[in-house]
Structure 1
Amino acid sequence: MMDLIIAVFLISGAAFMLLAALGILRLPDLPTRMHSSTKAGAMGAMLIMVGVVIGFAEWLALARGLAIVLFIMATTPIAAHAIGRAGYIIGVPLWDGTIKDELRENYDTRTHGLRSDAADQDEPRL
């Protein structure tokens, strides 16, 4: 029974990673590709780590697996943000079907900074 549970975690993790790879190949622009690779790839890696931890069934494997999962959860959103911002700064074109570009109104191409409503207000923030 444990082998079946381990197999389910490993195969589902591999399936998520396959979906991430297909998303990178098939999706139309950088933001959607980035979303596919970070969300599905991270979920796949975490499911595989759960399968590995269950397979080893040791406290050391649990500690390492938990550390790896926490590292993935902490770094994946930061990496996605950095990739997306770099792509936007260098002018990677968005897909023609993109409905709304929320950064366009707030992005300063000269300083590469974002303007926020809170910074534009005269009232101090609490």
Structure 2
Amino acid sequence: MTVLELLGHVLTGTGTALVAVAALGLIRLPDAYNRANAVAKAAALGVVCVLLGVLLLMPGVFTAVVLGLGVLLQLVTTPFAAYAVGRSAYRSGAPLARATHRDDLGGAPRDGGW
């Protein structure tokens, strides 16, 4: 086993663990906003780690282009998706967790407009 293969296995294992942590956060966190945040951060980083690990395990120009495009799309689309989920949860009236002390949009209307 070469150093690149070992690093590839470490990256794929780390990415898989991060996706598992995101799934655990989806189950255990108290409200929709915390869940969306956990999934957006941990799952995005996990997928990127897995893709980089696969690149080290299967090196090649075509693989680098395809996986690089996958990493780019993952990093660009995940924040927008998390924002849309959080905004939809707020506009639909999803309750905040008890530990939340601030509601910066509390005076803003929930329906219509931005």
Normalization by structure 1: what TM-score? 0.85
> Partner of 1:113: helix, strand, or coil?
coil
What RMSD, in angstroms, separates the aligned Cα atoms of the two structures? 1.0
CA apart distance, 1:113: 2.6
Is the 2:18–2:46 contact (alpha carbons within 8 Å) kept by the matching residues of 1?
Answer: yes
Cα distance in 1 for residues equivalent to 2:60 and 2:85: 37
RCO (CA 8 Å, sep 6+): is it higher in 1 or 2?
A: 2
Are 1:84 and 2:71 an aligned pair?
no
- 1:58-102 per-position Cα deviation (integer Å, ceiling 9, x unaligned): 011001111001100111011111111111111010101101111
- Matched with 1:120 is none
- Matched with 2:36 is 34
Cα distance in 2 for residues equivalent to 1:69 and 1:2: 19
Is the 2:5–2:56 contact (alpha carbons within 8 Å) kept by the matching residues of 1?
Answer: no
Equivalent pairs counted in the alignment come to: 112
Cα distance in 1 for residues equivalent to 2:5 and 2:92: 48
Please list every run of 5 or more consecutive structure 1 residues that lacks an aligned counterpart in the other structure: 115-126
- Matched with 1:112 is 112
CA apart distance, 1:54: 1.1
Normalization by structure 2: what TM-score? 0.93
Please list every run of 5 or more consecutive structure 2 residues that lacks an aligned counterpart in the other structure: none
Point out 4+ residue stretches in structure 1 off by more than 6 angstroms.
none
How many percent identity over aligned positions? Answer: 33
> Partner of 2:104: helix, strand, or coil?
coil
Match of 1:3 among 2, 5, 14: 5
